[in-house]
């Protein structure tokens, strides 16, 4: 690793032999990052296919986009301030240590942060990367770079700095003191997007719980200006009240209220779970296998679900377009029923509070008969995205037993050599384009071959009073022969064990 003498912390990219100063190179890096700032989302907005349907959700979403944070049960200033991040004009800042590869990775990450910021509704003005062995424990950036950042913020008229990391509460405050505008981190930004996008009651409760969990240890910081004011008043009264001024008491009060609210949310979420579990058990009882679609955000999961089922699920060139899992029924070519479940997108450094909050939702992946891991093969770092997704999946019980197929999507715009590279690395892949339909038939066939086939041979006459059972054989079984006899419906074929037992019982009665 080469440190240039002019500025040991400049984000150089180690092509220093062309005689340019480290600063020039640093500026170049900033420029390059910005030139591609928006490209974590692909260029050119959102393109829809006929499978995407009317996209009513999308219409609704753009109509609603800039009205955020209206619902607040707590009338508390600290919380309101937190919920409405109101990021308008932002400067991004990131860090890396090491050489060219690390610099590239940090750039990709900063570009993704830009896309996240845009998704949250803000305008990205500039980006800064610092090369530094380790973040400064006090101020995240080194003091020199922090001062430079303050200058940049003033120069471009930004009102917020977003750091591409999770800042310690004290780091955030210290950096804020230097740059003189609001500083937020990647975690807060992702939480904010989730809060904007959650639609179902359960999703909203899960996100609020995650936000409060994030907020709790940071309360001091968020309420600081207020408690300082209050503290000042106490100081001028000079009552010698020690460190426990009204500001402190206020924070304790806020903390208690937040804890109470969190407990209430946990109870609500727990109360909502049985309905989902019942539905899942119902599907299980009816032996309808589930295919889970998972993958990095913006990989094209919803588009693929639409291509496979014409479901008309929201597709948007934005991160975290889908938060509420959608389950659709589909049939294999030979008529077997299965469900396809679209899940929330994953992202590098998905806040652990969110993984926790969405755990119950994610656990459905562990129950799936097949996992379609959708990858945007046109992304600059698909392998990094695959790794980030697997990191989260590894935390879900049962996932290791679910067969996984890597679906390389966006083949219409992907570099074939990249596609080939991933194909050689991964055990099972299918190359598709949800847009052109390429590979979709192959994917359908693969799903059909992967889904468990019913094993138990049946040869039964089902009484006409049990039309429901005949229906279930149609849904989940394979029928070789069906005939209407006087005593009932003759069925020969194969079903799963549970249904076979029920059929036997019905036939005997
Ligand atoms: N060129 C190309 N673009 C695609 C393809 N599939 C999806 N896209 C685009 O990629 C963007 C994201 O698609 P979505 O289906 O919303 O992605 P997602 O994985 O559901 O994203 P989240 O719900 O945000 O996690 C949209 O702009 C799609 O039009 C494809 O095969 N080719
Ligand atoms: Mg989606």
**30 and 155 fall within a common domain:** yes
CA distances from 104 to 11, 13, 381 (A): 11, 9, 10
Q: What is the pLDDT of residue 155?
A: 92
**Average pLDDT over every residue of 278-299:** 79
- CATH number at 437 reads 3.40.50.300
**163 and 239 fall within a common domain:** no
**Domain span holding position 340:** 287-450
CB 82 within 8 A of CB 74: no
Residue 296 DSSP SS3: strand
Q: Cα(250) to centroid of ligand 2, in Å?
A: 41
Q: pLDDT tens for residues 363-377?
A: 778 888 999 999 999
Asked if pLDDT for residue 54 goes beyond 80, the answer is no
Q: Which ligand is the nearest neighbour of the Cα of 190?
A: 1
Q: pLDDT tens for residues 343-360?
A: 777 787 777 778 777 776
Ligand 1 atom at minimal distance to the Cα of residue 316: 16
Kindly report the protein residue whose alpha carbon is nearest to atom 14 of ligand 1.
300
User: Both tokens of residue 384?
Assistant: 């990094």
CB 428 within 8 A of CB 373: no
Ligand 1 atom at minimal distance to the Cα of residue 344: 25
**397 and 476 fall within a common domain:** no
**186 and 310 fall within a common domain:** no
- Look at strands 290-295 and 489-495 and give their pairing: unpaired
Q: Cα(85) to centroid of ligand 1, in Å?
A: 27
Residue ending a domain, among 235, 260, 285, is 285
- For the chain, the domain total comes to 4
In a domain, 415, yes or no: yes
Q: Cα(329) to centroid of ligand 1, in Å?
A: 21
**253 and 326 fall within a common domain:** no
Q: What is the pLDDT of residue 83?
A: 44
User: Both tokens of residue 437?
Assistant: 């339909």
Asked if pLDDT for residue 66 goes beyond 70, the answer is no
Kindly report the protein residue whose alpha carbon is nearest to atom 16 of ligand 1.
315
Q: Which residue has the higher pLDDT, 443 or 282?
A: 443
Ligand 1 atom at minimal distance to the Cα of residue 315: 16
Numbers of helices and strands, H then E, in the chain: 19, 13
> In angstroms, rounded to a whole number, what is the distance separating the alpha carbons of residues 504 and 501?
5
Ligand 1 atom at minimal distance to the Cα of residue 433: 31
Asked if pLDDT for residue 7 goes beyond 60, the answer is no
> In angstroms, rounded to a whole number, what is the distance separating the alpha carbons of residues 382 and 375?
7
Q: pLDDT tens for residues 328-348?
A: 888 887 777 888 888 777 787
| Of 462, 453, 456, the residue nearest 498 (C-alpha) | 456
Q: What is the pLDDT of residue 30?
A: 44
**Average pLDDT over every residue of 39-65:** 51
**185 and 78 fall within a common domain:** yes
Q: Which residue has the higher pLDDT, 413 or 350?
A: 413
Q: Which residue intervals of 310-400 are DSSP H helices?
A: 352-357, 359-366, 382-393
Residue 174 backbone phi and psi in degrees, to 5: -65, -40
**180 and 192 fall within a common domain:** yes
Task: Give the pocket of ligand 1 (CB within 6 Å).
Answer: 42, 46-47, 295, 297-303, 315-317, 319-322, 345, 409-410, 412-413, 433-435
Asked if pLDDT for residue 416 goes beyond 90, the answer is yes
Q: pLDDT above 90 covers what percent of the chain?
A: 32
Kindly report the protein residue whose alpha carbon is nearest to atom 4 of ligand 1.
410
Q: What is the pLDDT of residue 150?
A: 94
Q: pLDDT tens for residues 104-119?
A: 888 888 988 998 888 8
ipTM of the complex: 0.98
Among 152-161, 260-269, 316-325, 439-448, the minimum mean pLDDT is found in 316-325
Q: pLDDT tens for residues 195-253?
A: 887 777 888 888 889 889 888 888 764 444 433 433 333 333 333 344 445 555 777 88
Kindly report the protein residue whose alpha carbon is nearest to atom 12 of ligand 1.
298
**436 and 332 fall within a common domain:** yes
Ligand 1 atom at minimal distance to the Cα of residue 48: 29
Asked if pLDDT for residue 23 goes beyond 60, the answer is no
């Amino acid at each position: 690793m080469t440190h240039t003498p002019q500025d040991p912390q400049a984000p150089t990219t180690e092509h220093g032999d062309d005689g340019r100063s480290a600063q020039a190179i640093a500026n170049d890096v900033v420029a390059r990052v910005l030139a591609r700032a928006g490209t974590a989302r692909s260029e050119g907005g959102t393109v829809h296919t006929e499978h995407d349907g009317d996209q009513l959700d999308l219409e609704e979403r753009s109509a609603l986009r800039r009205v955020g944070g209206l619902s607040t049960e707590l009338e508390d200033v600290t919380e309101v301030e937190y919920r409405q991040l109101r990021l308008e004009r932002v400067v991004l800042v990131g860090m890396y240590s090491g050489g060219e590869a690390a610099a590239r990775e940090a750039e990709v990450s900063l570009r993704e942060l830009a896309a996240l910021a845009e998704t949250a509704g803000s305008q990205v003005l500039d980006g800064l990367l610092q090369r530094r062995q380790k973040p400064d424990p006090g101020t995240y950036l080194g003091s020199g770079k922090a001062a430079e950042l303050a200058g940049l913020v003033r120069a471009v008229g930004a009102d917020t700095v977003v750091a591409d990391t999770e800042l310690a509460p004290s780091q955030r405050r210290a950096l804020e003191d230097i740059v003189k505008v609001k500083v937020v981190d990647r975690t807060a930004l992702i939480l904010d997007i989730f809060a904007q996008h959650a639609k179902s009651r359960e999703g909203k409760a899960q996100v609020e719980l995650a936000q409060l969990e994030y907020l709790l240890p940071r309360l001091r910081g968020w309420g600081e200006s207020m408690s300082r004011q209050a503290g000042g008043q106490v100081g001028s009264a000079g009552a010698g009240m020690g460190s426990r001024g009204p500001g402190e008491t206020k924070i304790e009060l806020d903390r208690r209220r937040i804890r109470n609210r969190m407990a209430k949310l946990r109870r609500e979420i727990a109360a909502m779970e049985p309905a989902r579990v019942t539905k899942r058990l119902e599907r299980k009882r009816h032996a309808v296998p589930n295919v889970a679609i998972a993958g990095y955000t913006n990989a094209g999961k919803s588009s693929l679900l639409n291509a496979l089922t014409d479901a008309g699920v929201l597709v948007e060139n934005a991160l975290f377009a889908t938060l509420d899992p959608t389950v659709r029924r589909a049939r294999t070519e030979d008529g077997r029923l299965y469900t396809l479940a679209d899940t929330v997108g994953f992202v590098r450094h998905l806040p652990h509070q969110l993984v926790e909050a969405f755990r119950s939702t994610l656990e459905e992946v562990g129950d799936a008969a097949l996992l379609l891991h959708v990858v945007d093969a046109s992304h600059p770092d698909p392998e990094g995205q695959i790794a980030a997704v697997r990191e989260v999946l590894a935390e879900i019980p049962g996932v290791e037993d679910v067969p996984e197929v890597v679906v390389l999507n966006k083949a219409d715009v992907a570099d074939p050599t990249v596609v080939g590279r991933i194909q050689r690395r991964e055990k099972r892949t299918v190359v598709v384009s949800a847009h052109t339909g390429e590979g979709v038939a192959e994917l359908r066939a693969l799903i059909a071959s992967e889904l468990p086939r019913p094993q138990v041979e049946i040869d039964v006459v089902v009484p006409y009073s049990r039309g429901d059972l005949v229906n279930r054989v149609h849904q989940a079984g394979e029928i070789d022969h069906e005939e209407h006899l006087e005593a009932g419906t003759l069925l020969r074929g194969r079903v799963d064990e549970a249904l076979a037992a029920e059929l036997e019982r019905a036939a005997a009665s």
